Amino acid sequence: MVKDFEARSFSAVELIRTKRDGGTLTDEQIDWLIHAYTDGVVADEQMSSMAMAVLFRGLDDRELATWTQSMIDTGVRLDFSSLSRPTSDKHSTGGVGDKITLPLAPLVAACGVAVPQLSGRGLGHTGGTLDKMESIPGWRALLSNEEMMAQLEEVGAVICAAGDGLARADKKLYALRDVTGTVEAIPLIASSIMSKKIAEGTGALVLDVKVGSGAFMKNLDDARELASRMVALGKAAEVNTVALLTDMSTPLGLTAGNALEVTESVEVLAGGGPADVVELTLALAREMLQAAGSDADPEKALKDGSAMDVWKRMVRAQGGDPEATLPVAQNSDEVLAEADGVLTTLDAMAVGVAAWRLGAGRARKEDPVQAGAGVVMHAKPGDRVVKGQPLLTLHTDTPDAFARAREALVGGIEIGPEALDRQPLLIDRIS
């Protein structure tokens, strides 16, 4: 529901000072602030100051719960209770090569649980699910609520753009955080993600919170705090919520780029694909099914072809051709191993920035992306390599981008005499 607020109900400046000086805001003050900002009563400059105050001072559990609920109340809430099957959703905090949503949604649907996957576009070094899907000829991201409900009932899975009506405050606040250096504020990350997911109306939610150089959360303590706060918000809203902490120091899989990652996702659905992508897809599928009350075995659905069948139906339902040839970049260049030994480091941030500079990502939301651009990895940490062998292949339609992509990789690739101990892909589970 959308509320009307008078400009002088509270003073935005006084609220900023309160939080700046380490005080707490009342429920009424937070409710007014979020709605007044959404309605244009509180200026961007004032909300920028508040976001910075929250970055340094934080929000306690009560403040965060109220902040999140107020954001939900600025828009509509979806209701999937009329569907003939339970719903479960997944959200990733973003990473490099993170194409997991693509095989995961049809896999869970093949096990009898509907997946309303409302996704976004990439910004900076992290790839966007919608950008990947839009590399499929004919596929469309925008669906009406009626189309989404019909597809969930008939197919069991949908990957589409979130409508403007969900948590309207978040769209404004997210854009503001992006240009004011406050994206990393844990309470604002938690409220942004959970306001949309709770408003979406799913019955269960699994959070994939990334940790490492290629993630927003660079260290385990911050990742665990974010995961714990989001799980608490979900449970308070009666959404069965669990979080996995997963490693993002190295890219997921062997590709980073839009069409490249679609191809790899289809390989997983066909029973192949990189071991780490398969491992995480199955781990998240089991969590999503369990949270929705199902004891189905996702590994069986991956092996018997039923997940691939749902993928093809899902793509066709949104106008795409799952059999079409995907775009291929016009130019490629190889990065070669500089010595014999074991690849000890392939830094996720370095690869992500390289893919971004090649055209797979965007600096601003309105920027276009190249469907075929990105990076293919021929070795991962722990693999033995010989001098001169290709480690990476860079793909782009704009060959001038190769030099800057190579600059991003400086220091991100290391070869040593022996393999180093590595953090497991699945680090922890927060429930």
Residue in 262, 385, 368 with CA at minimum distance from that of residue 325: 262
The closest of 32, 112, 105, 24 to 61, measured between CA atoms, is 24
**Rounded CA separation 244/224 (Å):** 9
| Other Cβ atoms closer than 10 A to 278 | 18
Active-site residue 306, yes or no? no
What does each C-alpha distance from 102 to 206, 256, 259, 315, 365 come to in angstroms?
Answer: 15, 14, 12, 10, 22
The catalytically annotated residue of 121, 196, 224, 286 is: 196
Three-state DSSP at 151 gives: helix
Q: Cα(276)–Cα(222) distance, rounded to whole angstroms?
A: 23
- Of 19, 132, 177, 395, the active-site residue reads 177
- Give the CA distances from residue 67 to residues 118, 122, 126, 159, 236, in Å, rounded to whole numbers and listed in that order: 22, 25, 26, 27, 13
Give the closest residue to 129 by CA, choosing from 265, 322, 291, 327: 265
Phi and psi at 334, nearest 5°, equal -105, 140
* C-beta of residue 90 within 8 angstroms of C-beta of residue 288: yes
Look at residue 282 and give its three-state secondary structure: helix
Assess whether 218 carries a catalytic annotation: no
d(C-alpha 20, C-alpha 34), whole Å: 17
Q: What angle do CA 407, 408, 409 make, to 5 degrees?
A: 90
Q: 19, 35, 90, 91: which one is catalytic?
A: 91
Give the integer Cα–Cα distance in Å for 97 and 95: 6
Give dist(CA 375, CA 404) in Å, integer.
13
Q: Indicate if 125 belongs to the active site.
A: no
Non-local (6+) Cβ contacts of 150 within 8 A are none
Catalytic: which of 89, 131, 170, 247? 170
Q: Which residues contact 221 (CB under 8 A, 6 or more apart)?
A: none
Q: How far apart are CA 103 and CA 6, in angstroms?
A: 48
* 35 among known catalytic residues: no
Q: Is 340 a catalytic residue?
A: no
CB 204 within 8 A of CB 292: yes
CB atoms under 10 Å from CB of 237, counted, come to 18
Q: Which two tokens stand for residue 378?
A: 């021929």
| Residues with a known catalytic role | 91, 170, 177, 192, 196
